[in-house]
């Protein structure tokens, strides 16, 4: 041990010749006395050399002073190294201090190598790709969950339909299933041979027995079920083929629309089921109750709503006369819902402005939709303000003499196309304005669609169109009231524009209102239909639009082979004036002659008054009048002469009175306005020889003038039956 210790402290010696300790003299930095140093301490710089300390360990017991250290007992290398390191403060003053080689150190601010940067970028990109892949998987999972939910909903609906069918079948079985074996004696010749079924069955019965009349009266032999069943009853419909021994009854009255191309329906509209009912309180929304007048095979009325019974396209017209005491406008809405009542949408909407004195105001609303059995249509009046009871009477409808609601139905076999488009909202005030549309729905975008700029409707094939455009607006300026607004429609063909029709609307100041125009025209491939609203120069107008249909274009296109149109303006001679009492209106035809209908000309007592139809079908009529009057009420009525089918000439039977088809009633002229307006729209069935005409009636006042230049005219769409 002593030799090993010497070799450690004196690496220059070898073997037993090495002294146990070698003493060196250490000179103080101040040149004073010297002290002995030994071991690695002599190799350290002077600043790191320490003063002698008392001896530590087992070998210090028999020695004293600095000179006796040469004979100290050996110690283990680890103990001496630990003792030595404990004496150096630069290396730490605690036991277990460590020495770190500078070659193992890595500076914190060392820049990674290029390979390391590339690796880091690759790792980042891989991480991003992994995140994107996870997101893509999440999206796929969500889509799968959505599809699964839809499939589950479809399965639930199918199960409900199956259960409904089973329920109806059981109900029918309960209603038909009478025990004939007990009720009818000697039914099968022997009571033991009779077996009760939904009908009854005779054991051992052959087809020859059935042909001999074994089933009895009111029963026929069903060879598929091998039993006797009760004959069908046509419930008042004509019988095409009666019940025989082996065949059931066949009824000749197919469901409405199975073979017809077009049909019409008319009905009444009232508040809360009572005509003229008055709401004494404010209302946010109230449903108008529809009451049926026509055939229930096309539509029916349930809970005041119109329920469709056939597939096809429907065009609806409503003529409304209303008084309201609301502090703002009220809105008439035409809404359609699916069979389960969900996914409802507003087909159309018009606003009736506030007026002082609660004058009676007229409004006409029209709309088009593609329908299926079970779809239902509702009429609503909505209020923009809850303050509608200023005078104790919130709302009141006028009861006309004819049905205010009419429906034109077109079969899909006609090839007709229905389209609706919404006018874009205008953020600025305008005077003259051309609306820009976006398509809401179309049953055939190839035939009918929008132009590239959205300002027109283009047609790809020849046909006849019925259209209506309704625009809600807000205006400021007294010139708006005095001069009013005009809405015109024009048809562009081969780069040339032609005005089709226009309507007039009295203006308002700091109020909301709507302007509406309906017309019919013949179109060809490449033709476009556009609209423009004209306002006074000193009138600022802002145009609105939303999902409630207040700024909507509704259009139906019918192929030219089964349709035609006619247009006429009010004649400048023979117009009624003064105290007018049910005076007829006279017209002059402005469109080309067609074979299906015409305005009677010279040589007839009803010249320039009667519109006569030469072929059976369905007609849709729209009339606009621009006039000056002082009447409390002004009435426009559409009447049909009650001549039999095929009589021709439009002459009614002697003593027979014309039948009212539709009526519109307006109130007093708006204060400050130069002109007033009234419009009437309706659809009805026609035959060969059917004649219709219009009358004007002024209640308590006089008619001063009817404009025959612009704003007064009629348009008719005819579709084959």
**For residue 625, what is the domain's CATH number?**
2.60.120.40
At residue 548 the predicted structure's pLDDT band, cuts being 50, 70 and 90, is confident
Paired strand residues for 611: 599, 692
Domain boundary among 188, 209, 230: 230
**Residue 7: is its pLDDT beyond 90?**
no
At residue 448 the predicted structure's pLDDT band, cuts being 50, 70 and 90, is very high
Is the CB of residue 465 less than 8 Å from the CB of residue 555? yes
pLDDT in tens, 171-226: 766 658 677 787 777 777 766 678 887 778 888 787 778 877 788 888 888 877 78
**Residue 12: is its pLDDT beyond 70?**
no
At residue 46 the predicted structure's pLDDT band, cuts being 50, 70 and 90, is low
Domain boundary among 170, 205, 230: 230
Determine the pLDDT at residue 650.
45
- Estimate the crossing angle of helix 77-86 against helix 2-9, to 10 degrees: 40
Percent with pLDDT over 90 in the chain? 44
Domain boundary among 197, 215, 230: 230
Asked whether residue 636 is assigned to any structural domain, the reply reads: yes
In sign, the C-alpha dihedral spanning 78, 84, 87, 89 is negative
**Residue 79: is its pLDDT beyond 60?**
no
Is the CB of residue 706 less than 8 Å from the CB of residue 627? yes
Lowest-confidence region among 49-53, 173-177, 396-400: 49-53
- Give the residue from 513, 434, 529 showing the smallest Cα distance to 481: 513
Asked whether residue 601 is assigned to any structural domain, the reply reads: yes
d(CA 230, CA 219): 4
Asked whether residue 163 is assigned to any structural domain, the reply reads: no
Determine the pLDDT at residue 282.
60
At residue 404 the predicted structure's pLDDT band, cuts being 50, 70 and 90, is very high
At residue 554 the predicted structure's pLDDT band, cuts being 50, 70 and 90, is very high
Determine the pLDDT at residue 677.
95
**Residue 438: is its pLDDT beyond 80?**
yes
- Give the residue from 231, 209, 212 showing the smallest Cα distance to 220: 231
Determine the pLDDT at residue 250.
74
Is the CB of residue 450 less than 8 Å from the CB of residue 458? yes
Determine the pLDDT at residue 606.
67
Asked whether residue 68 is assigned to any structural domain, the reply reads: no
Q: How many domains does the chain have?
A: 2
Per the prediction, the chain carries an average pLDDT of: 81
d(CA 572, CA 679): 19
Asked whether residue 317 is assigned to any structural domain, the reply reads: no
The SS3 assignment for 438 reads strand
Asked whether residue 449 is assigned to any structural domain, the reply reads: no
Domain with 598, as residue range(s), is 563-643+657-720
At residue 594 the predicted structure's pLDDT band, cuts being 50, 70 and 90, is very high
Asked whether residue 665 is assigned to any structural domain, the reply reads: yes
Determine the pLDDT at residue 690.
94
DSSP assignment of 409-458 equals EE-GGGT-EEEEEEEPPP-S-BSSB---EEEEEES-TTTEEE-TTSSEEE
pLDDT in tens, 619-663: 999 999 999 999 999 999 999 986 554 444 445 555 578 999 999
pLDDT in tens, 453-491: 999 999 999 999 999 999 999 999 999 999 999 999 999
Asked whether residue 702 is assigned to any structural domain, the reply reads: yes
């Amino acid at each position: 041990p002593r030799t090993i210790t010497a070799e450690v402290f004196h690496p220059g010696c070898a073997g037993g010749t090495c002294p146990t300790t070698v003493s060196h003299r250490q000179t103080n930095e101040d040149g004073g006395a010297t002290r002995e140093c030994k071991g690695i301490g002599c190799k350290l710089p002077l600043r790191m050399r320490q003063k002698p300390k008392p001896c530590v360990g087992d070998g210090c017991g028999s020695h004293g002073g600095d000179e006796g250290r040469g004979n100290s007992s050996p110690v283990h290398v680890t103990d001496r190294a630990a003792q030595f390191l404990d004496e150096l403060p630069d290396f730490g003053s605690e036991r277990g201090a460590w020495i770190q080689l500078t070659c193992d150190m890595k500076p914190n601010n060392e820049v990674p190598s290029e390979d390391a940067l590339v690796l880091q970028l690759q790792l980042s990109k891989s991480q991003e790709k992994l995140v994107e892949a996870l997101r893509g998987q999440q999206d796929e999972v969500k889509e799968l969950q959505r599809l699964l939910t839809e499939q589950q909903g479809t399965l639930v609906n199918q199960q409900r339909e199956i259960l409904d069918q089973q329920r109806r079948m059981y109900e029918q079985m309960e209603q038909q299933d009478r025990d004939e074996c007990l009720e009818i004696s000697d039914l099968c010749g022997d009571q033991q041979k009779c077996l009760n079924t939904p009908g009854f069955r005779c054991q051992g019965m052959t087809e020859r027995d059935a042909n001999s009349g074994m089933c009895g009266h009111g029963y026929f032999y069903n060879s598929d079920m091998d039993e006797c069943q009760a004959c069908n009853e046509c419930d008042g419909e004509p019988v095409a083929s009666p019940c025989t021994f082996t065949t059931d009854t066949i009824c000749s009255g197919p469901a409405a629309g199975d073979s017809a191309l077009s049909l019409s329906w008319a009905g009444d509209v009232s508040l809360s089921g009572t005509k003229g009912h008055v709401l004494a309180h404010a209302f946010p929304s109230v449903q108008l109750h529809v009451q049926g007048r026509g055939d229930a095979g096309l539509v029916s009325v349930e809970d005041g709503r119109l329920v469709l019974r056939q597939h096809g396209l429907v065009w609806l017209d409503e003529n409304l006369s209303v008084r309201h005491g609301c502090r703002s406008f009220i809105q008439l809405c035409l809404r359609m819902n699916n069979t389960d009542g969900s996914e409802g949408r507003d087909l159309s909407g018009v606003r009736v402005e506030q007026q002082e004195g609660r004058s009676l105001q007229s409004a006409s609303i029209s709309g088009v939709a593609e329908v299926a059995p079970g779809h239902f249509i509702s009429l609503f009046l909505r209020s923009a303000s809850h303050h509608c009871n200023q005078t104790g009477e919130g709302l009141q409808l006028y009861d006309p003499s004819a049905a205010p609601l009419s429906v034109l139905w077109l079969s899909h076999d006609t090839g007709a196309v229905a389209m609706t488009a919404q006018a874009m909202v205008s953020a600025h005030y305008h005077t003259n304005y051309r609306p820009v549309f976006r398509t809401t729905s179309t049953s055939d975008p190839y035939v009918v669609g929008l132009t590239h700029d959205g300002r027109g409707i283009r047609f790809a094939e020849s046909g006849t169109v019925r259209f209506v455009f309704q625009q809600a607006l807000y205006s400021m300026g007294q010139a708006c009231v005095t001069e009013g607004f005009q809405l015109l429609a024009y048809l562009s063909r081969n780069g040339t524009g032609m005005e089709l029709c226009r309507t007039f609307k009295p203006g308002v100041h700091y109020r909301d209102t709507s302007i509406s125009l309906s017309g019919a025209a013949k179109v060809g491939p490449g033709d476009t239909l556009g609209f423009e609203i004209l306002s006074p120069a000193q009138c600022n107008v802002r145009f609105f639009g939303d999902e409630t249909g207040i700024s909507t274009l509704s259009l139906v296109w019918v192929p030219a082979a089964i349709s035609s149109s006619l247009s006429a303006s009010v004649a400048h001679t023979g117009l009624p004036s003064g105290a007018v009492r049910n005076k007829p209106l006279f017209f002059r035809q402005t469109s080309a002659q067609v074979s299906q209908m015409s305005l009677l000309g010279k040589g007839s007592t009803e010249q320039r008054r009667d519109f006569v139809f030469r072929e059976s079908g369905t007609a849709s009529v729209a009339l606009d009048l621009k006039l000056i009057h002082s009447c409390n009420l002004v009435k426009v009525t559409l009447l049909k002469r009650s001549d039999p089918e095929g009589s021709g000439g439009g002459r009614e039977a002697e003593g027979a009175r014309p039948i009212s088809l539709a009526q519109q009633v307006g109130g007093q002229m708006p204060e400050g306005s130069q002109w007033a307006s009234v419009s009437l729209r309706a659809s009805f069935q026609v035959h060969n020889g059917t004649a219709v005409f219009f009358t004007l009636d002024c209640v308590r006042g006089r008619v001063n003038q009817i404009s025959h230049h612009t704003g007064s005219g009629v348009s008719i769409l005819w579709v084959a039956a």
